[in-house]
Structure 1
Amino acid sequence: MIDNLIDRFALIGRSTNDRSQTARRVEYRRTLLMWVLGHELGHVVLKHGLSDYDEIKGMHVFDAAGQAKELEADSYSIKVVGNIDTALPSAYSTILDITNALVRKAVCPKTFPKLCSAMPIGVGLIFDYTPGAQSIRVAMTGSHPDYVARFLRILYESARATSQESSLGIVSRQAIELLEVEDSAGRWISLNEALAPK
């Protein structure tokens, strides 16, 4: 499962140095396993009951209650791993690598894992934060929230009340504000609009 995520998120590029790739894969494995275990422990501690991560079959309605539990478990994993100031540096460098890959995949689906003109080059959390920037489109179906929304939220929550609140916290919040989902009429609307009480 962990290797599948590493490959799915295109975390390890093509390199001529096999030893370097192996070392990076081992580090990603350790770190992702720590996050996954923290998340699953959250489900147990928060008494969420049985988990359901089946393939979507036929008509599957958006499961708001299930997604809320997943987000609660994500928040709990921050308690296990530590926030941006207290965790091992690899914990958040991995989350940042994954988030950047997922944003790139959402914005540049035709060229992923390569960049496209809609993505700037930079360091840290990379997305187009200029006025009129292209939205980051995510799916809003099933029992689990879209990965890009979840990882941006982890970065945002992990930076709250830390030395990074005024930098990573603000930047991750700006990226969250670019998230869009498709409504029942086939229009892309902001995630905030989609979740607003009707």
Structure 2
Amino acid sequence: MRTVRCDLRFLDELIDGLSLIYSEHQRTELRIRLLQLVLAHELGHIFYHDVSGAYHGDQDGFSVIRYASYKVELRADAYAIRLIDSYAQNRELIYGDIVELASNSVRRSLCPQTFPAPCACAGYSDATLCSRVPLGPGLPISPDDRVPVKLVGTHPDYVVRFSRMLFLSKDPVARIYRNQAREVLRRVVVVNEGGQSESVDALLNTSQASPDVH
């Protein structure tokens, strides 16, 4: 038998770390939807007979090429998306949450010192007049932006995971953001332990191979 154990404090780490709610009355329902997303991912590990693992916190990293454990996690993410696309009755709300998760992950990466507030450009005292984070809905990414991620931990960075989920989904709600998600992934910048930059092309080229759900 396989057992999924989830420390529910992880859900609050996501909610608070990525500033996902404006009022405490939103927390309970969001916890439930995030738990659905977590369980769908863990079912992917069971489907593929992955070895046992644990995840404690948000010190993540990303390397398509060098870290086998990252590939395992990305594969489970792909399974989760197929599962949600096929069976989730509240998938419109879940994909709304994933958009917020991806968007705020990008914002935090671009403006780590001021998040959730935007960071101002040099010479501007008002960040809303000049910022690395574009205004408007969806995933905030400008043509000249590069999204830095850390190469640490056992799981890929949230920017990569949640943007890739939107890229993979065939649900009409998520597909609206597919091109934005692709642009975010193309602008991810990773420096490996040897100091070299790594490409995300391998991620985009292999991400279509998500499994059928039976």
TM-score bracket for this pair, using the shorter chain length: 0.7 to 0.9
CA contact (8 A) 1:75 1:157 kept: yes
RMSD of aligned C-alpha atoms? 2.9
Check if 1:77 corresponds to 2:84.
no
Per the TM alignment, residue 112 of structure 1 is displaced from its structure 2 partner at its CA by 0.6
> Which ranges of structure 1 fall in alignment gaps of 5 or more residues?
14-20, 56-60
Q: Is the 8 A contact 1:152 1:176 kept in 2?
A: yes
* 1:126 equivalenced with 2:146 (yes/no): no
- Give runs of aligned pairs for residues 58-77 of structure 1, distance below 5 A: 64-77=67-80
In the alignment, which residue of structure 2 is the partner of 1:173? 182
User: Which of residues 187, 191, 206 is equivalent to 1:182?
Assistant: 191
Residue 2 of structure 1, aligned match among 11, 16, 19:
11
Matching residue of 1:18:
none
Aligned counterpart for 2:51 among listed residues 49, 55, 65 = 49
Q: Which whole-Å CA distance do the structure 1 matches of 2:12 and 2:182 have between them?
A: 29
Residue 52 of structure 1, CA deviation: 3.7
Residues 1:90 and 1:54: Cα distance change in structure 2 (over 3 Å): closer
Give distance in 1, aligned partners of 2:99 and 2:71.
Answer: 22
Q: Distance in 1 between matches of 2:39 and 2:203?
A: 31
- Give, in angstroms, the shift of residue 164 of structure 1: 6.2
Q: Map residues 142-153 of structure 1 onto 2, 5 A cutoff.
A: 142-153=153-164
Post-superposition Cα deviations, 1:16-44, rounded to whole Å, max 9, x if no partner, equal xxxxx233212211110000010111111
Please point out which of 31, 40, 50 is paired with 1:29: 31
| 1:142 CA displacement | 2.9
> In the aligned structure 1, how far is the partner of 2:173 from the partner of 2:203?
29
- Whether the 8 Å contact between 2:44 and 2:76 is mirrored in structure 1 is yes
Superposition map of 1:83-94 within 5 A? 88-94=91-97
Q: Secondary structure at the match of 1:180?
A: strand
Q: Find the counterpart in structure 2 of residue 16 from structure 1.
A: none
Q: 2:165 aligns with which of 143, 154, 157?
A: 154
Match of 1:107 among 93, 107, 110: 110
Q: 8 Å contact 2:166–2:174 — kept in the other structure?
A: no
Whichever residue aligns with residue 47 of structure 2, its letter is V
Identity across the alignment (%) = 33
Report the alpha carbon displacement of residue 53 of structure 1 after superposing the two structures with TM.
Answer: 3.0
Counterpart Cα distance in 1 of 2:36 and 2:99? 15
CA 1:69–1:124 in structure 2 vs 1: closer, same or farther (change >3 Å)? same
Structure 2 CA distance for partners of 1:195 and 1:143, relative to 1, 3 Å: farther
Q: For residue 163 of structure 1, report the CA deviation from its aligned partner.
A: 4.2
Residues 140-162 of structure 1 deviation map (CA, whole Å, 9 limit, x = unaligned)? 23321111111110010014xx5
Task: State the alpha-carbon separation in 2 of the partners of residues 72 and 181 from structure 1.
Answer: 20
For the 8 Å contact 1:63–1:143, the answer to whether it is kept is no
Does the C-alpha gap of structure 1 residues 88 and 66 become closer, same or farther in structure 2, counting only changes over 3 Å? same
Secondary structure of 2:169's aligned partner: helix
Check whether the contact 1:183–1:194 (CA below 8 A) recurs between aligned residues.
Answer: no
**In the aligned structure 2, how far is the partner of 1:174 from the partner of 1:34?**
27
CA contact (8 A) 1:75 1:154 kept: yes
Question: For each residue in 1:98-123, what CA deviation from the matched residue of structure 2 results, as whole angstroms up to 9, or x when unmatched?
Answer: 11111001001111111121011101
Aligned residues: 178
